[in-house]
Structure 1
Amino acid sequence: MFIVIVGGGKVGYYLIKSLIPHNHKIVVFDPVAEICHKIANELNIPVINGDGTDIDKLTKIGLSDADIFIAVTGKDEDNLIACQLAKKNFGVKRTIARVNNPKNITVFERLGVDIAVSSTSIITDLIEQEVDDSGIKTIMKLKKGKIVLTEIDVRSTHAICDKLLKDIQLPRDCILISIIRDDEIIIPNGYTMIKSGDCIIAATSKEKQQELKEYFLKSRKL
């Protein structure tokens, strides 16, 4: 693939190093001359001394033929502008932006960035999963986080334990994909009984995930 990367700092440098072994065509932009020389000498790839929004330079490298445009500078506004320029002016199909402030993720996505990545947000999610001892955690987000895959460990104290799926009213927009019981993977149907120790994989909309958690965490009535 033809990949254009804006930003040759630490994030950009190690991103480039990880991509080179896969034989991609890579061109890098950075406004700092010393960084450009370092990348060009150490990684032996084309490096343009510029800010990644110079239309003439982007045209010369053939950005319209790029498969992916990645902006990983330390400034959110620069990453956003660069991605918008690549998509709107050059028709790049896939844009990825580093987001330093996680509050900007939604803004980036609404303004056309295909993937907005925040290391702060990722770490926060991991911490929340580690401290959550309820037995429910997020294992994957799809479609820009609109769909969430959730892992649920069923306990004997949960109200859903020992019930058939047909007798359980799941929240709207929630689907049970599979049940892992010991070493067996079960594709559930209405007559599948949920047992203590089961690991349930469920898919929900982002808005309904909390409702799903609350539903599964209900305790048995004594």
Structure 2
Amino acid sequence: MKVAIAGAGAVGRAIARELLLSEHDVTLFERDPDHIVPTSVDGATWIHADACELEDLERAGLQTFDVMVAATGDDKANLVVSLLATTEFAVSRVVARVNDPRNEWLFNDDWGVDVAVSTPRMLASLVEEAVSIGDLVRLMTFRQGQANLVELTLPDDTPLAGKAVRRLQLPRDVALVAIIRGKRVIVPEADDALEGGDELVFIAPEEAEAPLHEAMRLPV
């Protein structure tokens, strides 16, 4: 996969290193020449360019990339990068960093954003996930509310213990994508039985979250 990252600060470089470990083709765009340090991310391509400038993106051939990651420390810049990547270069996937949670409402399809990543919100969600038993916790939003990644930890005395996945009466358009049990990550199959303490990870539209929560409280 060919990935462009706008912003070669600490966040952009960290993302690049992780993607390189998975053998993706990574290019970092950085407008400040003092921040261009190729030895800090071995294996990445570095381009001295302003990712908010159409001409710079054209010279870099952004239309050949599969993913754009807008990872600068400026929300306005990340929105502009996202919009250009989507509307001018038809990049198929755009992920944008949200620095100020108050701006999160702007990071939607109107600005070309497929996935908005808000570090404060993610940290808050992980805190909730760590302490919430029996409650649905939203971990991430895809396509700005069209689908959410949500987690629910079953209480030890859940009435669902011993029930097979196929017997779960999940709301429409909800999918159980993983069961985390201790150190194991289980890709659920129809005959897998649930246990108390299981962390269940779902993909669900927002309107299905309340019905999902109720469904997981009741025996099936």
Q: How does 1:13-162 map to 2 (within 5 A)?
A: 13-36=13-36, 38-39=37-38, 43=42, 45-111=44-110, 112-134=112-134, 136-138=135-137, 143-144=142-143, 146-153=147-154
Kept in 1: contact 2:3–2:68 (CA 8 A): yes
RMSD: 4.2
Does the 8 A contact of 2:30 with 2:50 survive in 1? yes
The answer to whether the 8 Å contact 1:177/1:187 transfers is no
Native 8 Å contact 1:174 1:212 kept in 2: no
Q: Distance in 2 between matches of 1:65 and 1:200?
A: 39
Against the structure 1 CA distance between its residues 210 and 16, is the aligned structure 2 distance closer, same or farther, given a 3 Å change threshold? same
Cα deviation code 1:189-217 (max 9, x no counterpart): xxxxx999485957653234245436765
Secondary structure of 1:26 counterpart: strand
Q: How far apart, CA to CA, are the structure 2 residues paired with 1:62 and 1:175?
A: 38
Question: 5+ unaligned residues in a row in structure 2: which ranges?
Answer: 162-167, 182-187
TM-score, length of structure 2 as denominator length: 0.70
1:2 — aligned with what?
Answer: 2
SS at the partner of 1:28? Answer: strand
1:133-212 paired onto structure 2 within 5 Å: 133-134=133-134, 136-138=135-137, 143-144=142-143, 146-153=147-154, 173=172, 187=190, 197=196, 201=200, 204-210=204-210, 212=212
Paired positions, count: 207
Q: 1:35 to 1:156 in 2, by over 3 A?
A: closer
Give the partner amino acid of 1:61: A
Per-residue deviation, 1:44: 5.5
**Where does residue 185 of structure 2 map in the other structure?**
none
Amino acid at match of 2:99: N
The structure having more radius of gyration, on CA atoms, is: 1
Q: Answer whether contact 2:65 2:91 (CA < 8 A) is retained.
A: yes
CA gap 1:13/1:110 in 2 versus in 1, 3 angstroms = same
- Structure 1 residues 141 and 122: alpha-carbon distance in aligned structure 2, compared to 1, 3 A threshold: closer
Contact 1:27–1:45 (CA<8 Å) still a contact in 2?
yes
CA distance in 2 between partners of 1:200 and 1:47 (Å)? 40
